[in-house]
Structure 1
Amino acid sequence: MDHFLYRDGVLHAEDVAIPEIAAAVGTPFYVYSTATLERHFKLFDEALAGTDHLVCFAIKSNSNLAVLRVLGNLGAGMDVVSGGEYLRAKAAGVPGDRIVFSGVGKTRDEIRMVLQGGIRQFNVESEPELRAISEIASELGLSAPIALRVNPDVDAKTHEKIATGKSENKFGIPIAKARAVYAEAAALPGIAVVGVDVHIGSQLTELAPFEAAFTKVRELTLALRADGHAITRLDLGGGLGIPYERSNSAPPLPVEYAGVIKSVLGDLGCEIEIEPGRLISGNAGIMVSSVIWVKEGEGRDFLILDAAMNDLVRPSMYGAHHDIIPVIEPAPGTEGQPFDIVGPVCETGDTFAKARVMPPVGQGDLVAFRSAGAYGAVMSSEYNSRPLIPEVLVNGDQFAVIRARPSFEEMLGRDSIPEWL
């Protein structure tokens, strides 16, 4: 469920009409619903009721400070994968003891900054990283809490570019090596072993891969405890998918996902951490664009929008589907026609959909891309010297710009020309 609904024939974000926002900020733009963000966080939090747990939002899915503040105010932790994301979490008011630092390429500068600023744990992905954390923590006179991210070699049955739990993926330490690496960690100065971490991928639509991975984590936890390690925390990553195509069957619900966690791991007495991103922010946001031209082609027609692949790259990068709907609701029984829906960037890859059946729309009409709140604005760029588009947050009948569109002068001003030119 989300809070983007037609009301009196006009698409609204909660109680705000989308055309009202478009008139204020121009198109294209992203708009997020506070009520949807809150609802989706609470679905996970309530699903794990009765267990010691922390829901850590995966910042990589949507890193806007206002979005992070909404979730942080509810008690969310944050899963970060860079020093910049760590600073964003702190700037949003989330304390270090609710921040988990993941990622395969943590630099020494990032490790030092995070140790000095406070961190819940490092999810360690390699032996060299473990040794670097030990060295830096020892220099600072600190103890670094760590969980080793293990790679369970489980097929998440998702897109190859977002699968992370197979043996050929770059993530984690092979689970067969885990006991040896934990033994090394326990012997290193400045290291406090607290748990086990696993994350097998994103946009999972079945529970079986989670169950397979969690079962391997369970077996490893029991073995590590037999080796003398005090494993008190299990970080199970994120990855639960969302229904990008409303006509398809819905992925499992958070309560069903939590049921697998409890049935496989509930008797171990561990605190559970999860790191959902997409399911919290994905359906909490839409991207709104205007039709520039309706173009008749040879054997196909095109809707040319003012949004482009630099604003929403998922269709170009992953072949991803987003439902695209008119902001003004078509009358019942209105017949549609197929269009290729494209942007103005000078690449054929700047295509959002092919032969998508749309109701009649014309020049200047508004369309909305559903389920664009995750991996939309965070992956945008200024390709073709197109300014980043605004982000807007709605709360009831209020809305505010939470990232402004830069002017061309601001965009050009970030470059500098050497004196010799």
Structure 2
Amino acid sequence: MDHFLYRDGALYAEDVPIAEIAAGVGTPFYVYSTATLTRHFRLFDEALDGVPHLVCYAMKAASNQAILKTLAGLGAGMDVVSGGEYARAVAAGVPGDRIVFSGVGKTRDEMRQALTGGIRQFNVESEPEMAALNEVAQELGTVAPITVRVNPDVDAKTHAKIATGKSENKFGIPIARARDVYAHAATLPGLKVIGIDVHIGSQLTELEPFRLAYEKVGELTEQLRADGHDIQRLDLGGGLGIPYTRSNDAPPLPTEYGALIKDTLGHLGCEIEIEPGRLVAGNAGLMVSKVIYVKSGEDREFLILDGAMNDLIRPAMYEAHHDIIPVIEPEAGAEQTPYDIVGPVCESGDTFAKGRMMPPVNTGDLVAFRSAGAYGAVMASEYNTRPLIPEVLVHGHQFAVIRSRPSFDEMINRDTIPEWL
């Protein structure tokens, strides 16, 4: 469910007409719904009622401070994967004891940053990282709380580029080696083992891969406790998918996911952490673009938009589907025409959809890309010297620009010309 609905023939974000935002900020832009962010976070939080838990929002999905502050106010922790994300979380008012630091390539500077500023835990991904963190913690005269990310060799049945739990993936340590790695961690004075971490991928549409991974984590928990480790916390990652189309093949609900966690791991008495990102932010955002031209090709029609692959890269990178709808509601039974929907970037890859059936669309019309709140603005670039597009947050009848569009001068003035030129 989201809060982007047609009302009186026009698309609204909560109680604000999309056309009103477009008139105020120009196109293209991203717009997010506070009500949808709130609802989706609470679904996860409520799904784990009855067990100690913390829902840590995966910031990589959408990291604008206004989104972070909205979720932090609801009690969310944050899952960060870089020093920049850590700094954003702190700037948004998230305390260190609600920040989890994940990622396969943490630097020593990032470790110092988090240990100095406060951290809930590091999800350690390798023995070299463990050694580096131990040294940094000792230099600072502190102890770093850690979980070790284990790779359960489970096929998440998702896109190859976002699968993370198979043996050939770069993430974590093989679960078969976990007991040896934990035994080594226990000898390092700068580290304190507090739990286990696992994350098998993103955009999962079935629960069975989660079940297989969590059963392995449950077995490992009991083994590690028998070895003398105080396993208090299980970080189960995120990855639950969202419906990018309006078909009946909807992914499992957070309530079903929560029930699975309780069924497989509830008997262990551990605090549970989950790190949803896409399902919190994905359907909470649209990208809105304007039709520049309707062009007739040799054997097809093109809709050429002012939004491009640099603004929303998922279709070019992942062959991802986004529903694309007119901002003015089409008449019931309006004739549909197939269009290739493309942007202005000088690459054939700048294609959002091929042969997409659309009602009549004309130059100057606005269209909205649904389910664009996750991995949209955060993955945008200034390719072709195209400015990053604005982000807008809606709250009831109000809207605010939460990231403005830079001017060409602001972009170009970041360059520095050497003296010899």
TM-score normalised according to structure 1 size: 1.00
Once the two structures are superposed, the pairs formed by residues 163-178 of structure 1 within 5 Å of their partners are 163-178=163-178
Q: Percent identity?
A: 77
Whole-angstrom CA distance in 2 between matches of 1:375 and 1:182 = 34
**CA separation in 2, counterparts of 1:49 and 1:137?**
35
Cα separation, 1, equivalents of 2:155 and 2:335? 41
1:269 and 2:269 are equivalent in the alignment? yes
SS in 2 for 1:389: coil
Q: How does 1:185-224 map to 2 (within 5 A)?
A: 185-224=185-224
1:104 aligns with 2:132: no
Distance in 2 (CA, whole Å) between partners of 1:89 and 1:5 is 31
Question: RMSD across aligned C-alpha pairs, in angstroms?
Answer: 0.4
Match of residue 17 from structure 2: 17
1:415 aligned partner? 415
Post-superposition offset of 1:249: 1.3
Find the counterpart in structure 2 of residue 179 from structure 1: 179
Alpha-carbon distance in 1 for matches of 2:318, 2:346 = 19
CA deviations over 1:165-221 (Å, ceiling 9, x no partner): 000000001101110000010110111100000000000000000000000000100
User: 2:54 is matched with which residue?
Assistant: 54
Question: What residue in structure 2 maps to residue 70 of structure 1?
Answer: 70
Partner of 1:84 in structure 2?
Answer: 84
Paired with 1:386 and 1:248, the residues of 2 have a C-alpha distance of: 37
Unaligned runs of 5+ in 1: none
In structure 1, the partner of 2:374 is: 374
The one-letter amino acid paired with 1:210 is F
- What's 1:288 paired with? 288
Amino acid at match of 1:309: M
SS across alignment from 1:55: strand
User: Counterparts of 2:87 and 2:51 in 1: how far apart (Å)?
Assistant: 29
- The one-letter code sitting in structure 1 at the alignment partner of 2:174 is P
Q: Distance in 1 between matches of 2:364 and 2:300?
A: 20
Correspondence 1:291-310 to 2 at 5 A: 291-310=291-310
Q: Which residue in 1 is equivalent to 2:397?
A: 397
What is the distance in 2 between the residues matched to 1:141 and 1:111?
13
CA distance in 2, matches of 1:320, 1:414: 33
Q: Which residue of 1 aligns with 2:341?
A: 341
Distance 2:87 2:54 in 1: 20
State how far apart, in whole Å, the 1-side matches of 2:419 and 2:36 are.
51
User: What is aligned with 1:364?
Assistant: 364
Q: Between 243-252 and 154-163, report the one with greater CA deviation.
A: 243-252
Give the 3-state SS of the residue equivalent to 1:51 in structure 2.
Answer: coil
Specify the alignment match of 1:247 in structure 2: 247
- Corresponding residue SS for 1:187: coil
| In structure 2, distance between residues paired with 1:253 and 1:413 | 47
Query: Quick one: distance in 2 between partners of 1:5 and 1:177?
Result: 51
| Separation in 1, partners of 2:179, 2:248 | 42
**Alpha-carbon distance between aligned partners in 1 of 2:282 and 2:366, rounded to the nearest angstrom:** 20
Secondary structure, counterpart of 1:142 in structure 2: coil
CA-to-partner distance for each residue in 1:65-95, whole Å, 9 max, x for gaps? 0000000000100000000000000000000
Aligned to 2:314: 314
SS at match of 1:84: helix
The whole-number CA distance in structure 2 between the counterparts of 1:93 and 1:112 is: 19
The residue type paired with residue 23 of structure 1 is A
Equivalent residue, structure 2, for 1:122: 122
Aligned to 1:354: 354
The 1-side partners of 2:133 and 2:316 are apart by 38
Task: Give the partner amino acid of 2:294.
Answer: V
Query: What's the offset of the Cα at 1:248?
Result: 4.0
Residues 376-420 of structure 1 show CA distances to partners (whole Å, capped at 9, x for unaligned) of 000000000000000000000000000000000000011111010
Q: 4+ residue stretches of structure 1 with deviation over 2 A?
A: none
User: For each residue in 1:43-86, what CA deviation from the matched residue of structure 2 results, as whole angstroms up to 9, or x when unmatched?
Assistant: 00001001100000000000000000000000100000000000
2:414 & 2:212 partners in 1: Cα distance? 48
Residue 262 of structure 1 deviates from its aligned partner by 0.2
Q: Which amino acid in the other structure matches residue 331 of structure 1?
A: E
2:226 aligned residue = 226
Structure 2, unmatched stretches of 5+, are none
Partner deviation per Cα, 1:232-260 (whole Å, 9 max, x = no partner): 00000000000001124110000000111
Q: TM-score, normalised by structure 2?
A: 1.00
What letter corresponds to residue 276 of structure 1 in structure 2?
P
CA distance in 2, matches of 1:186, 1:161: 34
Matches within 5 A, 1:125-144: 125-144=125-144
